[in-house]
Amino acid sequence: MPVYEYTALDVKGNTRSGIVDADSPAGARQKLRAAGNYPVAIREAASLSAQQSTLFFGRFRRVGHSELAIMTRQLGTLMTAGFPLVAALDALIPQTRSALLKNQLTRIKDAIVGGSSFSQALSAVSQTFSPLYINMIRAGESSGTMELVLDRLAEMIEKQQQVSQRVTSAMTYPIFMTLIGAGILLFLITYIVPTIAALFADMKQVLPAPTRMLIAASRILKTWWWSIPIAAVLIILCLRHALNTVSGRQTIDRGLLWLPVMGEFLCKLAAARLARTLGLLLENGVSLLSALEIVKSIAGNVLIADAVEAAAIQVRQGQGLAGSLDATRRFPALFIQMIQVGEQSGALESMLKKVADLFENEVESTLLRMATLLEPVMILVMGVMVGFIVLSICLPIFEMNQLIQ
């Protein structure tokens, strides 16, 4: 059913705008008048595929985690207050700021009115709603606890967003300082050093080795500076191509896990994400095998996802979850021990929540330590490079003073 964007006046003369689904513009006007609004302007909204094809950056458009969390929280609140699903979506759509999400919610509502279940309607826009989200909704439909499931989904999305924001905030300052430092060094080498090198050329004597190295580096950068952005673009394209291939993704993920500090950090981050999601699924009635199949897609690392898949095979054969995960040698020992305790005590869901809280705190502590260590390391590197430039410039001057004396 087409979707129309409208501007209308309500009974008090206030201007309202939003979207409405109808068979035709005349049907949209009739629907607005029936709701007590007087249409001023109506036009058909572009479909999702049309939006993505007409915008240059359309394929990069996504519904943000914050928008999805707010929508999920509001929908759960409306249903808890007694609104039926379709009525809750009707009340939610005009309040949604994102045009993309508003368009998708309208189509979800139309699919539900047409006889589809909520989970089936969500599957049609799987680029926004993950398999985890859809399966959680399906579990809520079967158990009759949709309101509780929506609240838990909103909480999970908010926690994921908090972790992402912590990672971003911890790395913003080091990256910013690195870029500033690299720009300053590039300016010194390409503009300041050539000026001083011209003075040394009049000396007509052999310059010290550090000075010759600095002048050579300056000439190379000044002549071939354009190769730096080209090389950066080529590296990015090669990485993107590698990430889109199975062998390339495995090689990159294996290298990341092999790194001393980064590997441990990624393992803890994956453990927190897997524990949080697995506990949420099990708590809402999803079977263990189905839950393992779902969490495999959110591992964030191909090798860890393969480990979850291998563990699922062992579980299907009758093995315990802790022993199956331990056999892969991909997860921290504490992670395995706590899951084993949860299995033995019959409280696996609550133990998985505790595991998630524990490893999320460890991830945050690791981020703070990494950010704290990066600052002095960057200062040291910058000091060494600036010191080398200063030494290379001062050495010929010292030699000139010795000759004069």
What own/partner pairs with CB < 8 Å and gap ≥ 24 does 107-116 have?
107/3, 107/48, 109/21, 110/1, 110/21, 112/85, 112/86, 113/86
pLDDT of residue 404: 58
Contacts of 243 (CB under 8 A, 6+ apart): 249, 252
10-residue mean pLDDT series, the chain (405 residues): 70 70 75 78 58 41 78 89 87 81 83 85 78 81 81 82 75 79 81 76 73 83 83 89 83 86 85 86 83 80 88 90 89 90 88 88 81 80 84 78 60
Q: How many CA atoms are closer than 13 Å to the CA of 322, on its beta-carbon side?
A: 17
CA distance 279 to 277: 5
| DSSP result, 143-173 | HT-HHHHHHHHHHHHHHHHHHHHHHHHHHHH
pLDDT tens across 116-140, in order? Answer: 888 888 887 767 788 778 878 887 8
Amino acid at 220: I
Q: Which residues pair with 20 in a beta bridge?
A: 4
Q: What is the DSSP string of 241-272?
A: HHHTSHHHHHHHHHHHHHSHHHHHHHHHHHHH
Give yes or no for a contact between 221 and 190, defined as CB atoms under 8 angstroms apart: yes
Report yes or no: 43 and 22 within 8 Å, Cβ to Cβ: no
Q: State the Cα–Cα distance between residues 206 and 203, nearest whole angstrom.
A: 9
Q: What is the pTM of this model?
A: 0.64
Tens of pLDDT, residues 256-288: 888 887 888 888 888 888 888 888 888 877 888
| pLDDT value for 219 | 83
Could you tell me if 366 and 265 are in contact, meaning their C-beta atoms sit under 8 angstroms apart?
A: yes
Q: What CATH number should be reported for the domain whose range is 169-405?
A: 1.20.81.30
CA 389, 394, 397, 398 torsion-angle sign? negative
Assigned CATH topology for domain 64-157: Receptor-associated Protein (1.20.81)
How many beta carbons lie within 10 A of that of residue 219, not counting itself?
A: 15
